[in-house]
Structure 1
Amino acid sequence: MAAGAPARPHHIFGLRRGVARPLWFADERTLLLPAGRGCVRYDLEQRGQTFIPGTERSQGITAMAVSPARGYLAVSERVETGTISIYDLRHEPPRRRRVLSAGEASAQEFVSLSFSPDSKFLAGQAGGPDWTLYFWMWEKQKVVATVKTGSETSPVSQVSFSPQDSAQICVSGRGLLKLFRYADGTLKQSSHGKVESHNVLSHAWTSEERVVAGTEAGRLLVLDSGDLRWEMSVVEAEREGEQRRSEEVPPRVSAIVGYSKGFACSAGPGTVCLFEKTEERDAYHKTKEIRVPASLLPPCRRCISPAEESLVCSTDRGQLYSVTLTCSNVINPVFLSHSFHSDTITGLSICVRKPLAATCSLDHSVRIWNYESKALELCKDFQEEAHSVALHPSGLWIIVGFSDKLRLMNLLMDDIRTFKELAVRGCRECAFSHGGHMFAAVNGNVIHIYSSTTFDNVLNLKGHNRKVQAVAWSADDSRLVSCGLDGAVYEWSASTGRRESESVLKSCSYTGVAVSRDARSIFAVGTDSALREIQDCELLADDVTFTAIAMSGSGRVLFTGTSTGAVRAIGYPLPLQTDWFEYHAHSAAISKMVVTFDDQFLLTASEDGCLLIWKISGQKRDSETSYAEEVLVTKSDLEEKVMLELKTRVEELKMENEYQLRLKDMNYSDKIKELTEKFIQQVESLKAESQVLRREKEKQKETHEKTLEDLEERHSREQQDFESTHNQKLLLEYERYEELRLKSQRMQEDYEHRLQQVEEAGQRALEDITVSYEDRLQEKVVELDQCQEESCRQVQEFEQMKLLLEEDGDQEIHSIRLRYEKMLQEEKETNARLKADSGIMKKKCISLQTDVKERNTEILRLKEEQQKLEGVIRSLEKDVLRLKRDIQERDETIQSKEKRIYDLKRKKEELEKFKFVLDYKIEELKKQIEPRENEMKEMKEQIQEVETCSSNAEKLLQKDLMCFFLYQMESEAEEFHKKNTQLEINLAEMKHKLKATDKEMHKEMQKVGVATLHI
């Protein structure tokens, strides 16, 4: 087809089967594959295609090969003789550089091709009956060597070059695996593997001298320099034993491809195995096993990308699968682009409102394609063959003809679902009117017209004697044209069912019909290889070979398909001479073709199972007209989808909540860990301080005991000195007493009278003095007892007050802790309940998410305040502990004071003993008062001075002690009262904050309740 052709290939859905090594990577993102009559360069990322057309007289591609540098493509085609075309892949589109042939030899076809490592040579294995290997220097189009490699009993299936040696070639086939070396212009056999008992289907080089081959019996053979080194089964020993017991056919190793780690090979239907080299010299072990989804689709060929990241394999039913090799988990093959038809396409239809095309095939499937996005929208497999399909102009439903019934189906979002069945058996052709209000269904030689709204059979058109092959509606839907195997072309009235015109040629069985835009001309093609224009029931042109026909929307171009797979574009009105554009794209006869309503695309379907989209040149689409995007969805599907979305949302929310809870648990765990570490450090520090205080206490105790011992020793020494001094004085007084006694005896007589008077007076005075002093002493004793009782009472009151304060403080702290812990638990429960309510609110209404987030922020703020309150509680607990330590210190102080009181009591007892001695001395001196009055007065004065000094010392000591005790108790009570007042103030502030928090939480709960009522 010339550059100015009316249509050019745009995209093809399908793969040509029966090609040797059909898949090749041009680079990491481009795949070369055969489709139709030519090759396609397929962009794996952009999903675009570039067509490499075959020769005009080609009967199909037989083999392909790409040079190691991926710059050249060799394609073998079957024409009159086998030819090989070399394309330069570095240009866009690829250019044909050279065409190679067998020269004077008559090679019918080439079954396998291979480039040398330096891309200078090309090896081509010819088929039967000669089975000759050709060795080209392809740049010069020169055959430099040939050699016969096989025979009719030992056919050759594959040829390949060594990856490092351009002179070494390996060929394999039934009972043979030979190595040839090119030297001195000839190919000489260097070795012959002993594989006569094996049917070698494929082989691959894994190193410069090593070849791995696969057999029909499922065996893998490893040969080094042509010698068999290692052999194993492609399946495990257990599966091999099961196959022997069940007498199943062993898996065929139909393809092997090598890569850096080892090789990949097929292992029977739907299985691909990856083998890697082990540490042993000649051994390989299986690392992965890939299962193609359909077990009845055995992989036949495969290739690996240059980076060895992906594996692409094709199947015998024309499907392409891709596998990611870098995945370490279970490998799941996926379709490379889409699934294709694997058998003849029997029906093709398009719609107006959407860029959709419907096809049906003998592979029991119906497919919906999008010819603008080049994607497969829907696919449905059935239990029986689909013979015909028609797509409603709205693109929302289709009719499909089966052997038993005509089924009407809705095109849902992800399914094709039957909603009505009509009793039309063996419907080989069906078509909607352009308006979509009627459709025609063919049953044998009868055409049934149905209403698309009521599905009633409004007309039955009878007139054909044999099966009707095609029907076509006029542009205004007023007429219906039909053709059949009886050679008749009828024009029917769609309103009355009456036959308007007819044209009968019994020597021709018509297969296709088209109507011009003005409905004045009818075009028909049939088995007599002629294109006929029927105008006013007259034949105007013939002698052109066609199998299908379609008229463009503009009515200026007539497209026809031939039995060789070519598409011809003929201008209308038909020219008198043979003037048309022709393009060979399909490898088999075109069965159906149709032009889209906007004249943008031509769609052709072929018996090779390929659907080809052609871009029509010179036609611009109306930009104001847009395709419909609506799809049919059943209520149950919609509810199920909503349910699935809600379930997915619930799962997401659950995961999010679990993640948030885990984060909070982690945060709380970290905080607990930090607090625990902090408390442990504080406990350790307190223990250390306690140890230090305990040691200081021991030191102070030792110091105090030593001081007490020193005081006791000093006191004992002073007592001894006092007693010795007193005894000396008593002795001196006793001596003087003796002298005075002698004097008194001498003076007794003289002073008896006077003494009696003085004695009486002295006795009275002494009695008065004694009574007065005894009264004063008794008063002092009573006062001392009262002071002691008052001191004991105050000490007891202080102890009781201390115990009451401790109990009140402990109870208050315990009650506060219980109350705050309860409030904290209630707040946690409230927070949990609010979180649950918040989750429910999120599920029910998305519009409240913002408010819920604000409430969550408020809850976090309350939690922070709660943590602050907990910190205040902890600080108060620390204050209580400090107060307890202060109380303990006060107890120690009281104990020291009590000990001092005990020492003073001992001193008092000693003074009382001294007083008793003085009293005894007074009694003794009373007897000597008469002779010595002056001395008695002195002695009395001395006694009075001693008593006065003793009483004053005791009084001052008691007064000082009481004042000291009262001052200490008042100061301690005042300090404790201040601390208790501060604690009450702090507790009041905490209560106020908690009341405010409760009010805020109550307000938030009321807001959530109001939101719930609104929902």
Structure 2
Amino acid sequence: MSIAAPPLLNRYVFGLKGDVKDNIGYIDEQTVIYPAGSNSILYNMETKVQKFIPVTEKCEGITCLAVAPNKRYAAIAERGEKPIASIYDLHTLRKRKSLSPAEAESKDFVCMAFSTDGKYIITQSGAPDWTMYYWTWEKTKLMASVKTANVPGERYGVSNVVAAALSPGGPAPATTKENMMGNVVYQVSFNPNDNTQLCVVGNGIFKLFRYSEGSLKLSLFQKFEAKNFLCHCWTADERVVIGTDDSRILICESNGELKAEIAFSTESPLRSCHSLISFNKGFVAGGAGGTVYVYEREDTAPAAATNSTIGATSGADPAQPVASSGSKDLFKKARDYSLQDESIKIVNMAISPSEDMLVCTSENNQIYNVLLGSADIKGDAAKLEVFSQPFHHGQITGMDTCIRKPLVATCSADKSVRIWNYMDSSSDLVKYFSEEAYSIAIHPSGLYILVGFSDKLRLMNLLIDDIRPFREFTIRGCRECRFSNGGQYFAAVHGNTIQIYSTWRFENLGNLKGHNGKVRSIHWAPDDTKIVTAGMDGAIYDWALKDMGSGSGAAGGGGGGGGIKREGESILKSCSYSCAVASPDGKSIYAVGSDKTLKEISDSQIIRELESDCVLNQVVLSHSGRMMFVGTATGTIRSMKFPLNNETGEFQEHHCHSGAITKLRVSYDDTHLFSSSEDGCVYVFKIADKEGRGLKKEREVVFADEILVTKSDLEEKNQMMNELKTRVEELKMENEYQLRLKDMNFNEKIKEITEKFMQEIEALKITSTVLRTDKEKEEVRHEEEMVEERERHTRELLDLETVHNSKLMTEYDKYQELQVKTTELQSQWERQMRDMQLAKEKALTELTNHFENKLKEKQAEIERLQQEMKLQFKEFEETTHETEEDADSEVLELKHRYERKLKEEREIGLRLKGENGIMRKKFNTLQAEIDAHKAEIAKMYAEEKKLHSVIKSLEKDIAGLKKEIQERDETIQDKEKRIYDLKKKNQELEKFKFVLDYKIKELKRQIEPREQDIQGMTHQIKEMDVELDHYHRANSDLELSIADLKLKLKAAEKQVAKERSRVKGCSATIRRFKVDLNECVQYIQEPKILKAQVKKLYQKYCKEVVKDEDTLEVDIQQEYSRHREYLERTVNSLRQKVTKDQGVHRAENVQIMQENAILIKEINQLRRDLRNMQQRERAAELALKHINSVMADAAPSNERIVLPKVLEQ
């Protein structure tokens, strides 16, 4: 029985879509709107609750936001086949209208803006058309549209074309590139006090448009140097504040006149201004450097002039303040708020309705806020603070959840690891590392995480305020790792091998080998006895883990050791798998990959395939095995009807992310779904039943409150608490003492102030009496002066009436004269019109008479031809009668001849009739033209009055155009001089080009034989390598022989040493014998004693006398001597031979290395020469194309000038 696809309810999202224009806005004092993924989020800062506005189906993502000034409506622009702007009611979160231009070439809107009353909206499309549309959104009516970007070839506005042409060196070098790419529009807006005036800024664009008579008319181009204008805003006094990329803020009047320049930043390098927003007191500017500046309007001009941030207008001294006509023309920097990291760029800002709070977004997808008055507190260095919690600002590469705690762990390309609490909707821990983390897994207890880095795999503790590594494994670039469900094991991918480790003993229990490509997915069975792996090689393996710690710890091929066995496999080379999961019973495996299908695999066979319209990246099953969710490459999540059906793969699709889904996880109690994406967002969904209610928990999970704290940290915190308690007690005593002192001082001051005020009250009473008397006197005097003033004003009125009456008479006389002139001009105009009418009628009469005469002539000619035809017919009859007797052939011939002639005459008659019809048609056409001319004459009388007004305006334009023509004539003269110089230079360059062409040909001819030499030398090098191998083998053989001889030599040396020790023993015996013999000689006179001594000697030294001992000993000594001499000679000869061979080989190796070095130098030199020649050829070709394109515009149309660029030798 299939279970219906469970709906997903958006619960919370961690992240921000940073590439959206105006991606932050206030709805009320406590609610802001911002985009995350493909949804727009309404976040309440007090309750921390998010509401979601989903994107329109089949759209490719949000491009910009706009909030109406009344905070009731918001416009969300989406990219698609045609750009769409949807208007939403922010109270009901329902779509009110959708605006989409029918003929738009672009696919998106880059910016939008509401009018002050919220009835109108302007949308600016992107490339290639860059068109601005003016809508009445409540009626879905397009009122007007206009292209805002400069046309290709036009860098500046009309006002400064001449200035750019006359400037030294011409326009900026970037002009050509910018014109080729088109100008980019960054922001559009309404004048807050005039819904018909619009402002547009962009790269080299600052234009003011006005809506009138159903169209948008350009009222102004910029009257100053064009720059890269990044942002703008309107102040309360209808001035435009513009931010540039060169750290300038320009203040302009509503007519485009530049009033002042403010330096956004004076630090080096210059920081660009990316965002401006106005409020009642002034405006706020944000940009590069992570700093927000608040500028307030000066109350007096001198105070404003002393501010160091005010710059000079274009061309003025930067050290002097900008001159202004009023006291409120300049702004001063009141305060600033900054971030600790100066590399962050502020790109969008919004101010709360009460203007107390400022929120801003940065380029790295973070939201910050600050209280606007916080910098006024003395001693407080105001900083921008994180709005709710810091988000990822890069692709999320890994995500996992645990069982015992409501935590989700993520790692990202921004080199950070973050721990999110999905119950509190908060960020518990953030840790940045020196390198990017590729994968992450969290232990089921929620106390440890496993993170894969480029150099090692690290096991870390989750402490109360830190993530601290405590064990490292030598696994490089681990792209996937998972803890087992029990937490006693973890698996980590090392290339195409999966290594299994013990979590507590850190031992490698086994290696799963079999994949030929990178492994992208690991899934543990609920009882941790099986693992399912999937890789980019199109293979899915099912491994059984039994008695894993008792074996050798390796598995591969069809089986393995260490109790690890491959039970199933499914290989599909055409599909690169990205994720695979198994059902709780282990009978089925579900996998997704690059072939856009969801596969069900059972018993190593694909039993079911469900096709999709996009690539499926991730698949996850609930722990109960009753729900399945699939993530796609387009950022959507599909809740599948499960178990799967062969016929239809029914699903509900949820739009959430704007990038491909990278990971999907389900909480242990199956109540929450978590998703991460390449857009850096983490979504938390509540899994509901078909009626939208939360699912009943099948497994009750009680979350743990325990945390890990190291002993040293705990002792340090306890010590700090004790110190703080002592400090608090001291402060209490000190504060009580200070309070008593202040009470005494305040009581004394109150007495002094009371006495002082009593004295002042008495003095004021006296002063009041005196002032009352003076007031009465002044009233009497004022009444007298009023009477005098009334009389004087009466006299002046009479005088003025007399003067004005005389002036009126003079003006009346002038009016009468002008009336007479007007009458004369009118009569003259009427005479001219009558003359023109008479001339026209006369011309028409002449044309009519002319064509009537032609018609009469043609009719007379037709009658004449008809008479001739009749006469010829009569002659033919007579001739026929006379020649009846002639031959038949002659009759037939004459008959044919005259029939042809008759046919020709008939054709002539028909042709003349046709010409007659044409003439009649021309006559009718001329008559119609006459009637049309009469109607035009009537219209001319009606347009005559309009022409008088047009003539006056054209006379003014003529005066302006004459000035412009004069300036352009001067420009043309300068261009002609430049063209003359370029022609001269062209002649020299043509000569140089001829020389270069000749050199190029010569070098090409030199390259061919050198390439042949290179091939020959390469072949020679290969032969030398073969010889070197031969020499190396010979050297190895010789080294073996030498080692053998050394062993023999050592044995001989040992024998010699033994013989030497024996000889030493014999020498000692001989010495003792000589001593004893010497003693015997003393008794030579006493024979008996001598005999006894000789016997002793014999008994002592000759106990074991062997026959012929001396002879045998001499032979042994001689044999040893001969053997030793032979070995010494052999060793000496071998040493000499080895020394000689080593010298020869060394010399040959040195020679070969020198030859190789010379060949390599020659090859490198030839390559450098070839590369230089190719670069010179390309440079010459580019120069020719570039200069031809430049001179094609500069030279006259009948001259084509070719100027190659001079290349340095």
Q: TM-score, normalised by structure 1?
A: 0.64
Secondary structure of the corresponding residue to residue 274 of structure 2? coil
Aligned-partner Cα distance in 1 for 2:333–2:745: 48
Aligned residue type for 1:190: S
Q: Residues 131 and 624 (structure 1 numbering): CA distance in 2 closer, same or farther, change over 3 Å?
A: closer
Tell me the number of residue pairs that the alignment of Structure 1 and Structure 2 aligns.
662
SS at match of 2:138: helix
Contact 2:5 2:639 in 1 (8 A): no
Question: What per-residue deviation string (whole Å, max 9, x for no partner) do you get for residues 393-437 of structure 1?
Answer: 000111111111111100000000111111111111100111111
Query: Tell me, what secondary structure is at the counterpart of 2:27?
Result: strand
After superposing the two structures, state which structure 1 stretch, 623-632 or 11-20, moved more.
Answer: 623-632
Query: For residues 934-985 of structure 1, what are the alpha-carbon distances to aligned partners after superposition, in whole Å with 9 as ceiling and x for unaligned?
Result: xxxxxxxxxxxxxxxxxxxxxxxxxxxxxxxxxxxxxxxxxxxxxxxxxxxx
Asked if residue 254 in structure 1 is aligned to residue 274 in structure 2, the reply is yes
Task: Give the direction of change, closer, same or farther, for the CA distance of 1:164–1:612 in structure 2 (3 Å limit).
Answer: same
Q: Residue 421 of structure 2 corresponds to which residue in structure 1? A: 370
Letter in 2 for 1:599: D
More moved, 542-551 vs 414-423? 542-551
- State the match for 2:392 in structure 1: 341
Residue 417 (structure 1) aligned to one of 468, 483, 508: 468
Q: 1:540 to 1:220 in 2, by over 3 A?
A: same
Could you tell me how far apart the structure 2 residues matched to 1:159 and 1:467 are?
49
Separation in structure 1 between the aligned mates of residue 217 and residue 581 of structure 2, nearest angstrom:
62
In structure 1, what is the equivalent of residue 491 of structure 2? 440
Which residue is 1:595 aligned to? 666
Unmatched tracts of structure 2, length 5 or more: 151-180, 300-326, 547-562, 690-694, 751-1209
Distance 1:195 1:75 in 2: 34
Do the aligned residues in 2 keep the contact of 1:405 with 1:424 (CA within 8 Å)? yes
Map 1:154-303 to 2 at 5 A. Answer: 154-207=183-236, 209-235=238-264, 239=266, 243=268, 248=269, 250-279=270-299, 280-303=327-350
Alignment of 1:83-102 (within 5 A): 83-91=84-92, 94-102=93-101
Deviation at 1:215, TM superposition (A): 0.7
Matched, 1:359 2:358: no
Q: Judge conservation of contact 1:59–1:587 (CA < 8 Å) in 2.
A: yes
Partner of 1:312 in structure 2? 359
Q: Which residue of 2 aligns with 1:585?
A: 656
Q: In 2, are the aligned partners of 1:397 and 1:411 still within 8 Å (CA)?
A: yes
Contact 1:178–1:226 (CA under 8 A) maintained in structure 2: no
AA aligned to 1:142 is K
CA distance in 2, matches of 1:613, 1:212: 41
Residue 117 of structure 1 pairs with residue 187 of structure 2: no
Deviation, 1:293, is 2.5
Alpha-carbon distance, 1:517 to partner? 1.4
Partner of 2:172: none
Q: CA deviation at 1:665?
A: 5.9
Match of 1:548 in 2: 618
How far residue 589 of structure 1 moved from its aligned partner, in angstroms, is: 0.2
1:607 matched to 2:608: no
CA contact (8 A) 1:406 1:427 kept: yes
Instruction: Report the CA distance between 1:11 and its aligned residue.
Output: 0.7
DSSP-derived class of the 1:337 partner: coil
Equivalent residues of 2:289, 2:344 under 8 A apart: yes
Look up the match of 2:39.
38
- Name the CA shift for 1:149/1:490 in 2 (closer, same or farther; >3 Å): same
TM-aligned CA deviation for residue 195 of structure 1? 4.0
Is contact 1:162–1:205 with CA below 8 Å preserved after alignment? yes
Would the aligned equivalents of 1:85 and 1:98 in 2 still touch at CA under 8 Å? yes
Tell me which amino acid in the other structure corresponds to 1:321.
Answer: Y
Match of 1:631 in 2: 707
1:655 aligns to 2:731 (yes or no): yes
How big is each residue's C-alpha offset from its partner over 1:628-649, in whole Å with a ceiling of 9 and x where there is no partner? Answer: 0000010011111111211211
AA aligned opposite 1:662 = Q
Determine the C-alpha separation between the residues in 2 that align with 1:278 and 1:120.
Answer: 33
Letter in 1 for 2:141: K
Q: Secondary structure of 1:647's match? A: helix
Cα distance between partner residues in 2 of 1:105 and 1:398: 51
Q: Distance in 2 between matches of 1:162 and 1:613?
A: 41
Asked if the contact 1:511–1:527 (Cα under 8 Å) also holds between the matched residues in 2, the reply is yes
| Aligned residues of 1:552 and 1:558 also touching (Cα < 8 A) | yes
Output aligned runs, 1:842-861, within 5 Å.
none
The Cα of 1:673 is off from its aligned counterpart by: 14
Residues 354, 311 of structure 1: alpha-carbon distance in 2 compared, 3 angstrom cutoff: same
Secondary structure in 2 matching 1:167: strand
| Structure-to-structure mapping, 1:795-944, within 5 angstroms | none
Shift of residue 55, structure 1, vs aligned partner: 1.2
Shift of 1:108: 2.1
What is the letter of the counterpart of residue 27 of structure 1? D
Question: Match of 2:223, as an amino acid?
Answer: K
Cα shift readout 1:571-603 (whole Å, capped 9, x = no counterpart)? 221022131100111000000010001011000
CA contact under 8 A between 2:541 and 2:566: conserved in structure 1?
Answer: yes
Q: 1:617 aligns with which of 688, 692, 698?
A: 688
Asked if structure 2 preserves the Cα contact closer than 8 Å seen for 1:445 and 1:467, the reply is yes
TM-score normalised per structure 2: 0.53
TM-superposition CA deviations, 1:888-911 (whole Å, max 9, x none): xxxxxxxxxxxxxxxxxxxxxxxx
Partners in 2 of 1:105 and 1:566 — Cα distance? 27
Task: Report Cα offsets for 1:641-693 as digits up to 9, x if no partner.
Answer: 1112112111111101212333566789999999xxxxxxxxxxxxxxxxxxx
- SS at structure 2 position matched to 1:421: strand
Residue 605 (structure 2) aligns with: 538
Deviations along 1:425-451, whole A, 9 cap, x unmatched? 111110011111111011101111111
Alpha-carbon shift at residue 511 of structure 1 (Å): 0.7
Q: Quick check: 1:406 aligned with 2:457?
A: yes
Tell me how far 1:622 sits from its aligned partner: 6.1
Structure 2 counterpart of 1:644: 720
Match of 2:634? 564
Do structure 1's residue 574 and structure 2's residue 659 form an aligned pair? no
Partner of 1:29: 30
Larger C-alpha radius of gyration, 1 or 2? 1
8 Å CA contact 2:5, 2:650 repeated in 1:
no
> Superposed, which structure 2 residues align to 1:727-766 within 5 Å?
none
Residue matched to 2:103: 104
CA contact (8 A) 1:162 1:208 kept: no
| Structure 2 CA distance for partners of 1:339 and 1:670, relative to 1, 3 Å | closer
Residues 111 and 483 (structure 1 numbering): CA distance in 2 closer, same or farther, change over 3 Å? Answer: same
- Given the alignment of the two structures, is residue 502 of structure 1 paired with residue 502 of structure 2, yes or no? no
In the alignment, what sits opposite 1:766? none
CA RMSD of aligned residues (A): 2.1
Using the alignment, how far apart are the partners of 1:166 and 1:205 within structure 2? Answer: 13
Q: Is the 8 A contact 1:234 1:267 kept in 2?
A: no
Name 2:133's counterpart in structure 1. 134
Corresponding residue SS for 1:227: coil
Deviations 1:790-841 (A, max 9, x none): xxxxxxxxxxxxxxxxxxxxxxxxxxxxxxxxxxxxxxxxxxxxxxxxxxxx
Confirm or deny: 8 A CA contact 1:407 1:420 kept in the other structure: yes
Which of 586, 589, 600 is the matching residue for 1:519? 586
Q: Cα gap change, 1:519/1:188 in structure 2, threshold over 3 Å: closer, same or farther?
A: same
Distance 1:196 1:18 in 2: 29
| Cα shift readout 1:748-800 (whole Å, capped 9, x = no counterpart) | xxxxxxxxxxxxxxxxxxxxxxxxxxxxxxxxxxxxxxxxxxxxxxxxxxxxx
TM-aligned CA distance change 1:10 to 1:608, over 3 Å: same
The 1:608–1:668 alpha-carbon spacing in structure 2 relative to 1, beyond 3 Å, is: closer
Runs of 4+ in 1 over 4 A off after TM superposition: 2-5, 663-674
Mapped pair 1:491 → 2:542: yes
Output the amino acid matched with 1:132.
T
